[in-house]
Each structure stands twice: as structure tokens, then as C-alpha cells.
Amino acid sequence: MSQEISIEKKIESEILVIRGQQVMLDRDLAELYGVETKRLNEQVRRNIERFPKDFCFQLNDAETKELVANCDRLNILKHSSSNPYAFTEQGVAMLASVLKSDVAVVASIVIMRVFVAMRRFLQVNAGLFQRLENIEKHQFVSDRRIDELFDKMDQYKIEERQGIFFQGQIFDAYAKFESFIQSAGHEIILIDNYVDLSVLERLAKKGKYVKVTIYTDPKTKLNGQDVDKFNEQYPLLTLKYTTKVHDRFLMIDNGALYHIGASLKDLGKKCFAFEVLDPSWIKEILKNL
């Protein structure tokens, strides 16, 4: 466990923000995957159709120079004959498939979890950054500044693993779970036997291109017309039915799994709790629906 935490901290320090996107450099990924940087980039060139510009791009001279100036560990780039390649979250996932090694697959899983955690952190706490003095966008490329951000995350207790809400804390409960919903980058899966229009109201706070799937009891108060009206304004929502689950679960981007003690329509009406579960359970839960 301590080794895994150490690897995650290493990955956190190697995720950079370049051109407004969270990326990792080819040399850092090669080290994690146990291959030479040259071989990694060779595999990318051989499978270039799998790496569009939103998956992978080469830094220009100015970007490389800024990295060298702000990251001591990247001084080696001064002597490189070519600029490094940067891989987005989608590019990292694609790399594992073209490298075809067990090490790459395992490393990619850890990297993807860190990407999701950092994206959720940045999205949910955008207002916090505005209040932090002397933290500016260009400082994200510094290892030292990355450490400062995660220190702030600990200070403000952003990474809560569980929590209890008491009767009457309706606004607090809604605010908490809307932060979960807003953190989604591409997919939300909700398992809740008792959904109604108030749940769709919460889900309307999602990102524009985030897909939603709801698994609920066949006797739900929602109907096809409700789903159609939601999709006219906030696509895409899919409603599925199951009678195999008792508890409530919220899954974000296949990388975050929340166990919720109350139906989303009843948040704050009575005392309930939530907790963060190991996301490796997501696949097993969905398989048994």
C-alpha cells in the first residue's frame, strides 16, 4: 500500500498543465512503463492513427524552454535533439494498448486514477484557487508548486473519504453531491431505486458532454417522457432498470465510486452518510446488475 501511495505521489508531481490540458511527458511515461522513451515514441508513430492531437502533441521550443526553466528534473531536455511529446489522459489510456505489456496496463490504471483525482480536485475547487495568493496558472509546471497544491488540498480537507449529514442539512447535502456530479469529465452512473424529477435536477449540473446512466427500480416515478425532455437540454441520459441492488452508488468517470446511505431525492431529510469505495469494484457492481 505504501509503495502504491509513493507511485501515485510521483505521478502527481509529473502531471503538468500545458495548453490548458493535464498531460504527462513521454520520458516520464516511459519510466513508469519500463521502456525506453525512444521505443515508446516509436510505437506511437507506428500507430499514429490512434493518437489524434487531443491524445498526444509535441511541445514547441517555447514550451520546452519554459519546462526546463521551471522544473529542475527536466534540465536534461536542454541537451535533447527534439522536443518531448505530451500525452493527455486519453493518450495515456491508448499507450497501454499499443505497448502491450502487463507493466504498462498496471501503470496506466494508476495514472488514470491520478488524472481523475486531479481533474476532480481542480474542477470542484476552482474558487479556492482564486483565493490562494501567489498561485498562478504557469506555476502548475513546477514540481514544488504541485506539492503546494496538494498541501492545500490536505489543509482544506478536500479529499474527504466519508461524511455524515444530519436531518435538516439539505443544502449541505445537495452541495456535496453536486460537487461529485460536477467533477465528472465524461460519464456518471447512478444506481438508485427511488429516483424522481428532483434527481434529474441535480444531474442537470453535470458538464455538457457528460453521459449519464441511471439504474433504478422498474416502479420508478420517472418515465420515458421525463428522459426525453431531459435529453433535449442536457444530453445524454439513459434510464435502465434493475431489481438486484438495495444500496445507492454513484460512479464518476469509472475512477470514483461513492456509496450513499440515502436516495438522492431524500438528501438532507434524515441523517445519512456517504463513503468513498475502491473504484475497482465498479466493474463488478455493473456486471451483477
Residues 48, 115: one domain? yes
Residues 166, 129: one domain? no
Residues 124, 179: one domain? no
Residue for grid cell 521502456: 35
Residue ranges in the chain modelled with pLDDT below 50: 1-5, 128-129, 132-146, 149, 152-159
Residues 128, 50: one domain? yes
Query: So what's the pLDDT on residue 124?
Result: 54
**By three-state DSSP, how is residue 160 classified?**
coil
Residue 236: give the domain boundaries.
Answer: 162-287
CA–CA separation, 193 vs 191, rounded Å?
Answer: 7
- Within 10 Å of residue 74's Cβ, how many Cβ atoms? 22
Q: What is the CATH number of the domain that holds 223?
A: 3.30.870.10
Query: So what's the pLDDT on residue 169?
Result: 66
CA–CA separation, 212 vs 190, rounded Å?
Answer: 8
**By three-state DSSP, how is residue 93 classified?**
helix
Residues 79, 135: one domain? yes
Q: What is the pTM of this model?
A: 0.46
Number of structural domains (the chain) is: 2
Residues 48, 102: one domain? yes
Residues 74, 187: one domain? no
CA–CA separation, 200 vs 237, rounded Å?
Answer: 9
CA–CA separation, 46 vs 99, rounded Å?
Answer: 11
Residues 23, 141: one domain? yes
Residues 254, 185: one domain? yes
Residues 21, 114: one domain? yes
Residues 129, 193: one domain? no
Query: Which of 32, 257, 277, 12 lies closest to 118, judged by CA?
Result: 12
Exposed/middle/buried for 67, CB within 10 Å: 0-12, 13-18, 19+?
Answer: buried
Among 155, 188, 203, give the residue marking a domain's end: 155
CA–CA separation, 187 vs 56, rounded Å?
Answer: 22
Paired strand residues for 289: none
Paired strand residues for 164: 273
Among 135, 155, 175, give the residue marking a domain's end: 155
Residues 92, 184: one domain? no
Query: So what's the pLDDT on residue 211?
Result: 93
Among 155, 185, 201, give the residue marking a domain's end: 155
